[in-house]
Amino acid sequence: MTLDKLVRALELTVINLGSGVSLPEKEFNGVYAGDFLSRAMSHVHFDELWITIMNNRNVIAVASLTDCAAVILAENVELLPEAFEAAVENGITVLGSGKSVYELCVAVHELTLRDE
Partner 1 sequence: MDELSLYVLDIVMNSVRAGAEHIEISIIEEGEWLTFTVKDDGCGMTEEQLKKLSDPFFTTRKTRKVGLGVPFLRMLAEMTGGSVEIKSVHESVSGDHGTELVARFGRHHIDFVPTGDMTGTVITLIQGSPDIDFVYRHKGDGFDVRLDCNELKAVLGDGISLAEPEVLAWIREYLNDQYSPSGE
- Residues in contact with partner 1 by CB under 8 A are 36-39, 41, 56-58, 60-62, 64-65, 86, 89-90
Cβ at position 38, least distance to partner 1 in Å:
4
The answer to whether 24 and 4 are in contact (CB under 8 A) is yes
The answer to whether 32 and 53 are in contact (CB under 8 A) is no
Dihedral sign, Cα of residue 102, residue 107, residue 113, residue 116: negative
Categorise residue 5: left if φ over 0, alpha if ψ from -120 to 50, beta otherwise: alpha
Q: Which is nearer to partner 1, 63 or 95 (CB)?
A: 63
Q: Which is nearer to partner 1, 83 or 95 (CB)?
A: 83
The answer to whether 46 and 62 are in contact (CB under 8 A) is no
Cβ at position 26, least distance to partner 1 in Å:
21
Q: Which is nearer to partner 1, 78 or 115 (CB)?
A: 78
Cβ at position 65, least distance to partner 1 in Å:
5
Q: Which is nearer to partner 1, 86 or 105 (CB)?
A: 86
